Amino acid sequence: MTSRQTFFEDRPGLAWAVWGILAALVTVPVVVALNSPWLPGRNPAYVMAGLAGILGLAMLLFQPLLAAGYLPGPGPLLARWLHRALGVGIVVAVLLHVAGLYVTSPPDTVDALLLVSPTPFSVYVVTAFWGVIVTAALVAARRRLGWRASTWRVVHNALAAMVVGSTVVHALLIEGTMGPVSKQILCAAVVVATAATLVHLRLVRPWRMRRRRSRDV
Amino acid sequence: MGSEFITRRSLVTGAAALGGMALIGEGVTGLVRPAVAAGGLRPTRTMRGGSNNYRPNAPLVDRLGSGFHVHGTVRQAGGGEPLSNVRIQIWAATTRGGEREPSNHGSVMTAADGSFVLEMDQIVPNFGQPHAHLAYDDGRFETVFLRPVMGSASDTSVRADFVLAPV
């Protein structure tokens, strides 16, 4: 931990660059979407639903980085608090997304959730939706469940990977207000951040620790 | 409907299968099987989601807007004779509003050659796909709801053909 903190403290320019890139990855897609030619024909609920979807996708970018403590600035406690706050934010975004779509067109929304929609992406919609709901339920019941930390990690990480994968495929397959280029870049960033974190935390670090321990013995 | 659910579920096995379904969904004519040995032209089947946001008896209109054309033909199952003076109801999400916007709903009658066309405002993607809705729902023939998807959101027309079976 301390080595990572000093890493960015020794390189303030790099810390600024990291936050600048993250800010651009989030704000550019939102600004592009707010200028979409399709917005004028949409009712306020539909506009809100689309925006909630984009913000939900953007929040997924920060979750692995906060969980792993990669980001320059927040210490471990603040990073953990932010991870939880964004988790709540993702749940709220998903609920606003679905609610806004339901107000816009109840039959299309129900079809999508029941997997009888004609659109080829509804299976990813449903996977992402239930992935988020189950994750939130497990977080709320974590103490009562009393799982071992290792069990929790496996389940929480598997759900996270599932949510990220299905959300990104859903986002890429639909034609909505997001611009295609900024959408692809944000989706790629979310996938890379999630995959890199999982590989580092669950494969590389345990393997290194095991090697260090065997060397010490 | 029940069998459709099962078909859907069993098809939802992966991205490849889903991609294939998208391709089938894009070609309206793909639903009319060309190789029917006996019995001639098969009736068009209702498409999944075709009746979403349907409001029966959309008013007969000359046009609903400008710049985009929804067109097609109506023929009778079996012999394929063109059906004239048949009412086709059309609705879609356009630049003026969503599928529930009343001024996005209109009906047209087929001409002597069974063709129909309705000019409306540009259709825009709705729920992730740019598509139109068309209905034949007047009782003389079996009811059919179509939901053709445009190849591109910048297309300025979309085609849907009906083959209707007498009740």
Q: Which domains does chain A have, with CATH numbers?
A: 2-216 (1.20.120)
Higher per-residue pLDDT: A10 or B51 = B51
Task: Search chain A and give the residue with CA nearest B22.
Answer: A120
Interface test with B, best of A36, A102, A109, A116 (most B CBs within 10 A): A116
What are the tens digits of pLDDT across the range A132-164? 999 999 999 999 999 999 999 999 999 999 999
Give the CA dihedral A96, A101, A104, A109, nearest 10 degrees.
-140
Residue B60 is classified by DSSP as B
Task: Search chain B and give the residue with CA nearest A102.
Answer: B127
Return the amino acid letter for A154. V
Contact B124 A119 (CB under 8 A): no
Residue B139 is classified by DSSP as S
What are the tens digits of pLDDT across the range B44-97? 999 999 999 999 999 999 999 999 999 999 999 999 999 999 999 999 999 999
Return the amino acid letter for B124. V
Buried b / exposed e over B22-42, threshold 16 CB at 10 Å, is: eeebeebeebbeeeeeeeebe
pLDDT value at A39 more than 90: yes
Lowest mean pLDDT among A70-74, A141-145, B2-6: B2-6
The SS3 call for residue B72 is strand
Provide the pLDDT for residue A1: 47
Q: Which two tokens stand for residue B34?
A: 């060309």
pLDDT band of A4, cuts 50, 70, 90: low
Residue A10 is classified by DSSP as S
Domains of chain B in start order, with CATH, are: 2-164 (2.60.130.10)
Contacts of residue A193, defined as CB under 8 A and 6 or more positions apart, other chains included, come to A61, A64, A65
Task: Search chain B and give the residue with CA nearest A98.
Answer: B127
The residues in B 83-142 lying below 8 A from A, measured between CB atoms, are 93-100, 124-130
Q: In whole numbers, what is the pLDDT of chain B averaged over residues?
A: 84
The SS3 call for residue B105 is strand
Partner residue facing A105 (CB), from B25, B96, B99: B99
Provide the pLDDT for residue A215: 81
Chain centroid offset of residue B158 CA: 9
Partner residue facing A115 (CB), from B9, B15, B128: B9
> Look-up: residue for tokens 């999982």?
A198
d(CA B108, CA B146): 15
Contact A41 B8 (CB under 8 A): no
Our CA-based measurement puts residue A43 at a distance from the nearest CA of chain B, in whole angstroms, of 7
Q: Cα separations (Å) of B152 from A207, B117, B128, B130, B149?
A: 49, 20, 12, 7, 9
